[in-house]
Amino acid sequence: MNTVSIIVLVVLAILTLVQVMRISEVSSEIQGGKDNEVSEKDNDTQGRLMLLVGMGFVISVVVMYVVWGRLSLPEPSSEHGSEIDGLWNLSMLIINIVFFIVQPILFYFAYKYRGKKGTKAVHFAHNNKLELFWTVVPALALAVLIIWGLNVWSTLMMPENDEEPIVIELYAQQFNWTVRYSGSDNALGFASVYDIEGANIVGVDTQDAASADDVVTKELHLPVGKPVLFQFRSQDVIHSAYFPHFRAQMNCVPGATTNFQFTPTITTAEIRQNKDVKRHVEEVNAIRTAKGEDVWDFNYVLLCNKICGAAHYNMQMDIIVETEDEYNAWLNEQKTVAETL
Amino acid sequence: MSTMSTKSTENPHFQDHLMEHHHEENFFTKYIFTMDHKMIGKQFLVTGMFMGIIGVMMSMLFRLELAYPEQSFPILEFFLGKWAPDGVMSPDMYLALVTIHGTIMVFFVLTAGLSGTFSNLLIPLQIGARDMASGFLNALSYWFFAMSSVVMVVSLFVESGPASAGWTVYPPLSALPQAMPGSGAGMTLWLVSMTLFIVGSLLGSLNYIVTVLNMRTKGMSMTRLPLTIWAFFVTAILGVLSFPVLLSAALLLMFDRLLGTSFYLSDIFMGGEVLSYSGGSPVLYQHLFWFLGHPEVYIILLPALGISSEVIATNSRKPIFGYRAMVGSILAIAFLSFIVWGHHMFITGMNPFLGSVFTFTTLLIAIPSAVKAFNYITTLWKGNIQYTPAMMFSIGLVSTFVTGGLTGVILGDSALDINVHDTYFVVAHFHIVMGLSAIFGMFAGVYHWFPKMYGRMMNKSMGYAHFWLTFITAYGVFFPMHFLGMAGLPRRYYSNTAFPMFDNLADINVLITYFAIIGGIAQLIFIFNFFYSIWRGPKAPQNPWKANSLEWTTPVEHLHGNWPGEIPMVHRWAYDYSKPGAEEDFIPQNVPLAEGEESGH
Residue-level pLDDT at B248: 96
Residues A43, B138: Cα–Cα separation, whole Å: 40
B492 touches chain A (CB under 8 A): yes
Helix (H, G, I), strand (E, B) or coil at B89: coil
Q: Which amino acid is at B441?
A: G
Q: What is the interface pTM, i.e. ipTM, of the complex?
A: 0.94
Residue B33, pLDDT > 90, answer no
Residues B135, B2: Cα–Cα separation, whole Å: 8
User: How does residue B12 score in pLDDT terms, banded at 50, 70 and 90?
Assistant: very low
Secondary structure (H, E, C), chain A = CHHHHHHHHHHHHHHHHHHHHHHHHHHHHHCCCCCCCCCHHHHHHHHHHHHHHHHHHHHHHHHHHHHHHHHCCCCCCECCHHHHHHHHHHHHHHHHHHHHHHHHHHHHHHHHCECCCCCCCCCCCCCHHHHHHHHHHHHHHHHHHHHHHHHHHHHHHCCCCCCCCEEEEEEEECCEEEEEECCCCCCCCCECHHHCECCECCCECCCCHHHCCCEEECCEEEECCCCEEEEEEECCCCEEEEEHHHCEEEEECCCCCEEEEECECCCHHHHCCCHHHHHHHHHHHHHHHHHCCCCCCCCEEEEECCCCCCCHHHCEEEEEEECHHHHHHHHHHCCCHHHHC
Residue B62, pLDDT > 60, answer yes
Cβ of B532 and A21 within 8 Å? yes
Structural contact between residues B111 and B300, judged by C-beta atoms closer than 8 angstroms: yes
Binding-face residues of B in 269-328 toward A, CB within 8 A:
269-270, 274, 279-283, 316-325
User: How does residue B512 score in pLDDT terms, banded at 50, 70 and 90?
Assistant: very high
* Mean pLDDT, residues B309-331: 95
Q: Which of B352, B488, B500 sits opposite A244 (nearest CB)?
A: B488
Residue B584, pLDDT > 90, answer no
Residue B290, pLDDT > 90, answer yes
Residue B22, pLDDT > 60, answer no
Structural contact between residues A227 and A262, judged by C-beta atoms closer than 8 angstroms: yes
**Beta strands A239-243 and A248-252: pairing type?**
antiparallel
* Mean pLDDT, residues B300-316: 97
Residues A288, A295: Cα–Cα separation, whole Å: 7
Cβ of A113 and B385 within 8 Å? yes
B225-242 pLDDT, tens digit each: 999 999 999 999 999 999
CATH number of B34-266+274-553: 1.20.210.10
Residue-level pLDDT at B440: 98
B447-460 pLDDT, tens digit each: 999 999 999 999 99
Cβ of B95 and A310 within 8 Å? yes
* A314-323, B14-23, B437-446, B473-482: the lowest-pLDDT one: B14-23
B492-502 pLDDT, tens digit each: 999 999 999 99
Q: Which of A121, A153, A308 sits opposite B577 (nearest CB)?
A: A121
Choose the mutation target among A84, A146, A147 for the interface with B, i.e. most B CBs under 10 Å. Answer: A146
* Mean pLDDT, residues A13-36: 76
Cβ of B384 and A134 within 8 Å? no
Cβ of B385 and A71 within 8 Å? no
Residues B21, B196: Cα–Cα separation, whole Å: 32
Secondary structure (H, E, C), B39-54 = HHHHHHHHHHHHHHHH
Q: Which of B363, B536, B585 sits opposite A121 (nearest CB)?
A: B585
Query: What residue in A sits closest to B381 (Cα-Cα)?
Result: A109
Residue-level pLDDT at A61: 97
On average, the pLDDT of chain A sits at: 93
Helix (H, G, I), strand (E, B) or coil at B24: coil
Residue-level pLDDT at B9: 45
B464 touches chain A (CB under 8 A): yes
User: Taking the domains of chain A in order of start, what are their residue ranges?
Assistant: 42-114+127-158, 166-340
Structural contact between residues B474 and B400, judged by C-beta atoms closer than 8 angstroms: yes
> How close are the terminal C-alpha atoms of chain B, in Å?
34
**Residues contacting residue B240 through CB under 8 Å, at least 6 positions apart:** B202, B205, B206, B209
Question: Smallest CA–CA separation between A53 and chain B, in Å?
Answer: 8
Question: Smallest CA–CA separation between A64 and chain B, in Å?
Answer: 7
Q: Which of A127, A258, A316 sits opposite B498 (nearest CB)?
A: A316
Residue-level pLDDT at B20: 47
Tell the CATH topology of A166-340. Answer: Immunoglobulin-like (2.60.40)
Question: Smallest CA–CA separation between A283 and chain B, in Å?
Answer: 7
User: How does residue B26 score in pLDDT terms, banded at 50, 70 and 90?
Assistant: confident
Percent of chain A topping pLDDT 70: 98
B378 touches chain A (CB under 8 A): yes
Question: Smallest CA–CA separation between A328 and chain B, in Å?
Answer: 28
On average, the pLDDT of chain B sits at: 93
Residue B10, pLDDT > 90, answer no
Percent of chain B topping pLDDT 90: 90
Q: Which amino acid is at B321?
A: F
